[in-house]
């Protein structure tokens, strides 16, 4: 019998690749998505569709009430999403305070209930400068805590923590993945904006892989 694992699955490129990597590694995946009041909630529809097609158990948990405590991000509050490539001064506006610690804590609780020993999430090197909770030192310390926080030790697994978005896309393309099944844009409109930092990084990854992004852009 294969090992149960929890994959935090946003519906974006990185977690999509992580989800498939866990499946290719022979894990029994339980996908977990969160509605934290993000303006790009559309990503959850993509996550649900992928899990349905793969017959992967999937939970979408509404934790949007936390926004009364952790506002101030352009992803959750009435603040314009900054445009242009990831630059620290502007992209700090997209930081949701303590988001990954909160999501990981919930995912670890789910893992314990499943008798799973691993929680996967899609942190990568391109996030390190802007998002403190995607940095290796955070993952290391969080994993240390999660090994002792319950009777069941749980490890935080980040397969691409040292890889760029371009390298993650390269790995996914080698697996034959269709990235038209993912949503990245921080604006949740009908088409991706092509201008926010998330879109810029995504499009750059496709250019560097010498292929065309299957998503439609404004």
pLDDT of residue 65: 85
Q: Report the alpha-carbon distance of residue 166 to residue 111 in Å, rounded.
A: 30
Q: Determine the topology of domain 4-208 in CATH.
A: Rossmann fold (3.40.50)
pLDDT higher at 82 or 165: 165
Q: What is the pLDDT of residue 36?
A: 83
Using H for helix, E for strand and C for coil, what is the string for 106-175?
A: HHHHHHHHHCCCEEECCCCHHHCCCCHHHCHHHHHHHHHHHHHCCCCCCEEECCCCCCCHHHHHHHHHHC
pLDDT of 75 reads 43
- The confidence band for 84, taking pLDDT boundaries of 50, 70 and 90, is low
Specify the residue for token string 């303590």: 98
Residues 35, 54, 187, CA angle at the centre, nearest 5°?
A: 35
Q: Which two tokens stand for residue 171?
A: 């790995």
Q: Please write down the HEC assignment for all residues of 14-81.
A: HHHHHHHHHHHCCCEEEEEEEECCCCCCHHHHHHHHHHHHHCCCEEEEECHHHHHCCCCCCCCCCCCC
Specify the pLDDT at position 32.
98
Among 88-92, 100-104, 182-186, 194-198, which stretch is predicted with the lowest mean pLDDT? Answer: 88-92
Task: Please give the DSSP secondary-structure letter assigned to residue 194.
Answer: S
Q: Is pTM, for the whole model, over 0.85? A: yes
Q: Alpha carbon of 99 to those of 69, 75, 151, 166: distances in Å?
A: 11, 11, 24, 24
- Per-residue pLDDT at 156: 95
What is the dihedral sign for C-alpha 41, 180, 106, 141? Answer: negative
Delimit the domains of the chain by residue range: 4-208
Task: Calculate mean pLDDT across residues 153-161.
Answer: 95
- pLDDT tens digits, one per residue of 14-34: 999 999 999 999 999 999 999
Res 64: pLDDT: 85
């Amino acid at each position: 019998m294969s090992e149960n694992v929890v994959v935090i699955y946003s519906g974006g490129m990185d977690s999509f690749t992580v989800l498939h990597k866990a499946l290719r590694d022979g894990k029994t995946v339980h996908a977990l998505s969160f509605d934290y009041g993000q303006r790009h909630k559309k990503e959850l529809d993509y996550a649900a569709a992928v899990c349905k097609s793969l017959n992967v158990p999937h939970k979408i948990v509404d934790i949007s009430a936390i926004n009364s405590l952790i506002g101030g991000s352009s992803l959750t509050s009435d603040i314009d999403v900054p445009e242009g490539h990831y630059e620290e001064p502007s992209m700090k506006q997209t930081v949701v305070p303590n988001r990954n610690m909160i999501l990981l804590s919930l995912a670890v609780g789910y893992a314990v209930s499943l008798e799973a020993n691993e929680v996967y999430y899609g942190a990568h090197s391109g996030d390190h400068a802007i998002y403190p909770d995607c940095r290796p030192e955070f993952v290391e310390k969080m994993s240390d805590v999660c090994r002792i926080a319950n009777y069941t030790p749980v490890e935080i697994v980040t397969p691409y923590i040292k890889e760029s978005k371009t390298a993650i896309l390269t790995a996914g393309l080698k697996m034959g993945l269709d990235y038209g099944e993912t949503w990245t844009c921080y604006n949740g409109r009908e088409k991706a904006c092509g201008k926010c930092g998330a879109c810029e990084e995504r499009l750059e990854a496709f250019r560097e892989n010498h292929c065309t992004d299957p998503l439609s852009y404004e």
